[in-house]
Amino acid sequence: MKASGLDLSGKFATQITTSKHFYDVTAHRYIQQNCQDLGMKYIHGLSADMDDLLTEEGQRTAKAFFEYVCWCMAHDVYETFPKHAAAPSHRPVSPAESGEAGKTGDVVIVTDCAGDDTQLKAMIDRFRAVLKHKSRIVNISGYPFQGGCLGCFHCAVSGKCVYKDVLDDFLRNEIQAADAIVYAFSIKDHSMGSIFKMYDDRQFCNGHRTVTMGKPTGYLVSGNYPEEPNLQMIIEGRSEVGGNFLAGVACDEIDPDAEIDRLAARLDYAISHRYIQPRNFYGVGGMKIFRDLIWLMRGMMKADHRFYKKHGLYDFPQKQKGTVLKMYLVGALIASPRLKAKIGNKLFEGMIAPYRKVVEK
């Protein structure tokens, strides 16, 4: 719609999505951002569970949402337009001398870099020059995709895609086998662009399996990345759920030379030391959604189920019977005013005692 030049300013817009709520906020914010770019009056959308419409509560929610949208339109109520971000600076990137001698390993750079995107190409060239590992480029803009993901679940059992363009084999042999993966792109409409969108969708042949966990990753981004909080959440969330150390995101908005060099240095350290970090909220929350989903659908999602069993990802809290019993005991003790007064600070001391032993070592 943006490319068409169609004037939609002042029109109302909203959205309805169904999912299992895995980062549904990022999809909604993407639509909101682009609607507001077009000058549309955006009404906060409805993010429903895939099965909500089959329940009475879900049907009531859908009806209530429609009534809410009608009220918003009648009273001219919509989300506040954000302050327009400054145009990208695209600060120049200095070339660096490339010394391939002595380089080892395999870092793959996945990009959709167009022939006329000289800025992104310069960022890639500098990164490859200062990186201490061997690197290669996979330009997905030239890959013969036969189409986007059909959602047919043909891959659910074997992991084999129904398309004959062998992207599943290409992913496993040419990209996922590398020591580290770096993505390079220019920001388009608050996203990585349509080619990367198709590439990401087609990776559903991996199901919900974190097949690259333990491998570090990084990003080279041309565009005003500091003004793209939704894109930042997507990139961090993808790394956290995937179990990949995010070595950094280098962009050309402030000091591209320094950012690219730091990214290369951190990536080298992560590869050399096999450095990983525990998952944060993005990773823990995302994996809990996947865990519960695959457990329920294990009869159909057989490849995912085998992977989750093998890697101990079915970490349901009810399996921690010792901790559950301990908490019942502590709860009974502190429920009694007499015992609670007698224990005093000993409960707190007991909680930190195991950690004190480790620290004192």
Q: What's the whole-number average pLDDT of the chain? A: 94
Helix/strand/coil for 78 = coil
Q: What is the pLDDT of residue 358?
A: 86
List, for residues 304-325, the tens digit of each pLDDT value. 999 999 999 999 998 899 989 9
Distance of CA 121 to the CA centre of its chain: 24
Question: Of 235, 257, 282, which residue constitutes the final position of a domain?
Answer: 282
- Whether 77 contacts 71, CB under 8 Å: yes
Over 80: is that where the pLDDT of 340 sits? no
Domain count within the chain: 3
**Verdict on whether the full-model pTM lies above 0.85:** yes
* pLDDT confidence tier of residue 131, bands split at 50, 70 and 90: very high
Residues of the chain with pLDDT > 70, as a percent, come to 100
The two structure tokens encoding residue 257: 């030379």
Are both 43 and 189 inside the same structural domain? Answer: no
Over 80: is that where the pLDDT of 345 sits? no
Are both 129 and 207 inside the same structural domain? Answer: yes
Are both 120 and 219 inside the same structural domain? Answer: yes
349 assigned to some structural domain: yes
Q: What is the pLDDT of residue 83?
A: 85
Helix/strand/coil for 73 = helix
Are both 165 and 205 inside the same structural domain? Answer: yes
The two structure tokens encoding residue 166: 């062998």
17 assigned to some structural domain: yes
Q: What is the CATH number of the domain that holds 146?
A: 3.40.50.360
- Whether 260 contacts 93, CB under 8 Å: yes
List, for residues 38-54, the tens digit of each pLDDT value. 999 999 999 999 999 99
Q: What is the pLDDT of residue 46?
A: 98
Amino acid making up residue 233: M
Over 90: is that where the pLDDT of 31 sits? yes
Burial of 142 (0-12, 13-18, 19+ CB in 10 A): exposed
List, for residues 257-303, the tens digit of each pLDDT value. 999 999 999 999 999 999 999 999 999 999 999 999 999 999 999 99
Q: What is the pLDDT of residue 5?
A: 87
Q: What is the pLDDT of residue 352?
A: 83
Are both 109 and 199 inside the same structural domain? Answer: yes
Over 90: is that where the pLDDT of 15 sits? yes
List, for residues 77-102, the tens digit of each pLDDT value. 999 999 888 889 999 999 998 877 88
List, for residues 98-126, the tens digit of each pLDDT value. 877 889 999 999 999 999 999 999 999 99
Sequence-distant contacts of 35-40: CB under 8 A, at least 24 apart: 36/79, 36/81, 36/82, 37/2, 37/189, 37/190, 38/1, 38/2, 38/8, 38/9, 39/8, 39/9, 39/10, 40/8, 40/9, 40/10, 40/11, 40/12, 40/13
Judged by phi (left if over 0) then psi (alpha if -120 to 50, else beta), residue 180 lies in beta
Helix/strand/coil for 345 = coil
Are both 123 and 257 inside the same structural domain? Answer: yes
Q: What is the mean pLDDT of residues 234-254?
A: 98
For residue 186, the cross-strand partners are 222
290 assigned to some structural domain: no
Length of the chain: 361
Amino acid making up residue 237: G
Over 80: is that where the pLDDT of 346 sits? no
272 assigned to some structural domain: yes
* pLDDT confidence tier of residue 347, bands split at 50, 70 and 90: confident
Are both 157 and 219 inside the same structural domain? Answer: yes
Q: What is the pLDDT of residue 60?
A: 98
- Whether 106 contacts 133, CB under 8 Å: yes
Are both 226 and 112 inside the same structural domain? Answer: yes
For residue 158, the enclosing domain spans 104-282
336 assigned to some structural domain: yes
Q: What is the mean pLDDT of residues 22-33?
A: 97
Are both 69 and 126 inside the same structural domain? Answer: no
Listed in sequence order, the residues at least 6 apart from 86 whose beta carbon sits closer than 8 Å to its beta carbon are 224, 227
Are both 138 and 224 inside the same structural domain? Answer: yes
Q: Which helix (H) or strand (E) holds 108?
A: strand 104-111
Round to whole Å and give the CA distance between 328 and 338. 17
173 assigned to some structural domain: yes
Are both 31 and 121 inside the same structural domain? Answer: no
Q: What is the mean pLDDT of residues 7-32?
A: 97
* pLDDT confidence tier of residue 220, bands split at 50, 70 and 90: very high
Are both 203 and 255 inside the same structural domain? Answer: yes
82 assigned to some structural domain: no
How many CB atoms sit inside 10 A of residue 82's CB? 11
305 assigned to some structural domain: no
Over 80: is that where the pLDDT of 343 sits? no
Q: What is the mean pLDDT of residues 198-203?
A: 94
